A and B are shown apart, each in its own frame.
Chain A
Amino acid sequence: MKFHDSVCGAALFALAVFIFAYALTIPPMPGQQYGADVFPRLVAIGLGSFSLMLVWRGWKYSPKDTPWAAVAPWARDPHTRGNFIIAFVLTIGYVLLDETVGFIPLGIAILMILFVRQGVPWRKGALIAVIMVVMTQILFGQMLRVPLPRGVLTGWW
Chain B
Amino acid sequence: MDAILGALNLIADPYVILLICLSSAFGLFVGAMPGLTATMATALLVPVTFFMPPLPAMAVIVTTSCMAIFAGDIPGALLRIPGTPASAAYTNEAYAMTVKGQAETALGAGVVFSAIGGIFGTAVLATSAPLLAEVAIKFSSFEYFWLVCLGLTCAVFIALDDPVKGMIALFIGLGVALIGLENPAGLPRFTFGVTDLMSGIDMIPAMIGMFAIAEALRIVAAATTRLPPARAISGSIFRGQWQLTRKYPVQILRGSTIGTLIGALPGAGADIASWITYATAKRFSKEPEKFGTGHPEGIVESGAANNAAVSGAWIPALVFGIPGDSITAIVIGVLYLKNIIPGPMVFVNQPALVTGIFALFFLANLILIPFGWLAIKSARHILAVPREILMPIVLLFCIVGAFAVTNSPFAIGVMLVFGLIGFLMEEHGFPVAPVILGIILGPMLEQNFVTSMIKSDGSFFGFFNRPIAAFLGVVTLAVWGAMLWRGLRAIRAPQPV
* A interface residues with partner B (beta carbon < 8 Å): 2-5, 8, 12, 15-16, 19, 22, 26-27, 29, 32-36, 38-40, 43, 46-47, 50-51, 53-54, 56-58, 61-63, 66, 72, 74-75, 77, 79-81, 83-84, 87-88, 91-92, 94-95, 98-99, 103, 107, 110-111, 114-115, 118-120, 128, 132-133, 136, 140, 144-148
Contacts and interface: CB of A to CB of B under 8 A. Distances in A.
A135 B225 CA distance: 25
A42 to B, nearest CB: 8
B428 A8 contact: yes
Contacts of A115: 388-389, 392
27 contacts: A2-B427, A12-B172, A26-B187, A27-B185, A32-B454, A36-B186, A38-B449, A39-B449, A46-B167, A46-B171, A58-B497, A62-B494, A74-B222, A74-B223, A77-B223, A79-B223, A80-B222, A87-B220, A88-B217, A95-B413, A110-B395, A115-B392, A118-B388, A140-B47, A140-B400, A140-B404, A146-B403
A31 to B, nearest CB: 10
A92 B496 CA distance: 34
Contacts of A91: 395, 399, 412, 416
Contacts of A110: 392, 395-396, 399
Interface string B450-490: 10011000100000000000000000000000000001000
Contact of B178 (A16, A39, A61, A84): A39
B395 A87 contact: yes
Contacts of B388: 115, 118-120
Residue among B167, B185, B454 with most chain A CB within 10 A: B185
Q: Do most interface residues of chain B lie in helix, strand or loop, or is the interface mixed?
A: helix
Contacts of A47: 168, 171-172, 175
B14 interface: no
Pairs A-B, 10 closest by C-beta atoms: A114-B392, A118-B388, A47-B171, A36-B185, A36-B183, A84-B221, A39-B446, A74-B221, A146-B404, A29-B185
Contacts of B185: 26-27, 29, 35-36
Interface string B383-395: 0001011011101
Contacts of A26: 185, 187, 189
Contact of A144 (B50, B409, B450): B50
A22 B428 CA distance: 27
A81 B51 CA distance: 38
Contacts of B232: none
A90 to B, nearest CB: 8
A132 B404 CA distance: 17
A3 B428 contact: yes
A58 B449 CA distance: 33
How many interface residues does chain B have, given as a range?
Answer: 35 or more
A57 B389 CA distance: 42
A8 B162 CA distance: 15
A38 to B, nearest CB: 7
